[in-house]
Amino acid sequence: MASLAGLEGIALPSFSSEMPAEDARALRNYLYQLTEQLSYVLTNIDRENCSEEFLERMNGEGA
């Protein structure tokens, strides 16, 4: 299973005061959704979700 340890250090960015609040809110919501989706994918990846070619490469057997 993939490790989520590195995701803890990812923080949402700060935006300048010149950016409209509505745009900053929309961007922050979008980034939050991407983070949630990435966490889900990394939590649920296993051998059943990988091709044989990929598994061989990860085991050092592929070219």
Alpha-carbon distances of 30 from 1, 13, 23, 49, rounded to whole Å: 26, 12, 11, 26
Q: Specify the pLDDT at position 1.
A: 45
Q: Specify the pLDDT at position 33.
A: 92
Distance in angstroms (rounded) separating the CA atoms of residues 53 and 58? 9
Question: Taking the alpha carbons of 50, 12, 27, 16 in that order, is the dihedral positive or negative?
Answer: negative
Please indicate whether residue 58 or residue 6 has the higher confidence score (pLDDT). Answer: 58
Please indicate whether residue 26 or residue 7 has the higher confidence score (pLDDT). Answer: 26
Name the band, by pLDDT with cuts 50, 70 and 90, for residue 26.
very high
Q: Count of CB atoms within 10 A of residue 59's CB?
A: 8
